[in-house]
Amino acid sequence: MSIHDERDEEMERERPLLCGRSADELLDQVAAGRGHVRDEHQQGCVHCQAALGEYGRLWAPMADLAAEEVVAPEGRFDQVLRRLRGALSEPDYAVLPGPDGLTRIAARVVVVTARRSAQSVPGVRVALSRTLSGDDEPGGDVVAGVAGASTAVEITLAADYGEDLNALADRVRATVADRIREITGLSTTELTVVIDDVLQ
């Protein structure tokens, strides 16, 4: 590894998430087998949720190796750590590797996809979005966090009066997750639906 690679790796380790949380602390949490245990901040933060989901996915081969009690091939551990640290190198973009290069997808693309998908579900009256700059459209919010090939989304919406709200939320989750996967290739690790109002 060159001096430049080591310096880049050190910078990636020090870079916090957009919410200010340490990426290294989240990696330690996943490596310790506590990725599913969320503190109060993580329960409501799409950035932490996306990072924990991505780290969990990327750490899975290491967990499998540990369970098998075999010796990892030389360099495998370092390779996995580099991928984990690189997953958050661009905190407002998802990064999908391909055979011919990388595809970078902005979190705002996930926001638009989630909003339009939610609005297509019968019984949803309105689901509007907030851009990363904080400019609000009236009526509700969709926010998304991205990390590597994972995303976490929170949708606030208004429903038609008389709808079974639990069933509606399930339909919104399924529709939005499927559409995000179809359009972006990202895996939705968490999808929170907040029903803020009902309209007649």
Q: Please tell me the distance from the alpha carbon of residue 9 to that of residue 13, in angstroms, as a whole number.
A: 6
Quickly state the pLDDT bin for 135 (edges 50, 70, 90). very low
> What is the average per-residue pLDDT within 123-133?
65
**SS3 at position 178:** helix
List the beta strands (DSSP E) in the chain: 93-98, 101-106, 124-126, 142-147, 150-160, 187-199
CA–chain centroid gap for 70, Å, is 31
Least-confidence region, from 49-58, 162-171, 177-186? 49-58
What is the reported pLDDT for 176?
A: 96
Is the pTM for the entire model greater than 0.85? no
Is 72 in contact with 81 (CB distance < 8 Å)?
no
pLDDT digits (tens, 9 = 90+) for 109-121: 999 999 999 999 9
pLDDT > 90: percent of the chain: 44
* CATH fold label, 103-199: Alpha-Beta Plaits (3.30.70)
What is the reported pLDDT for 83?
A: 67
Q: Which residue has the tokens 């109060």?
A: 40
Domain ranges of the chain: 3-89, 103-199
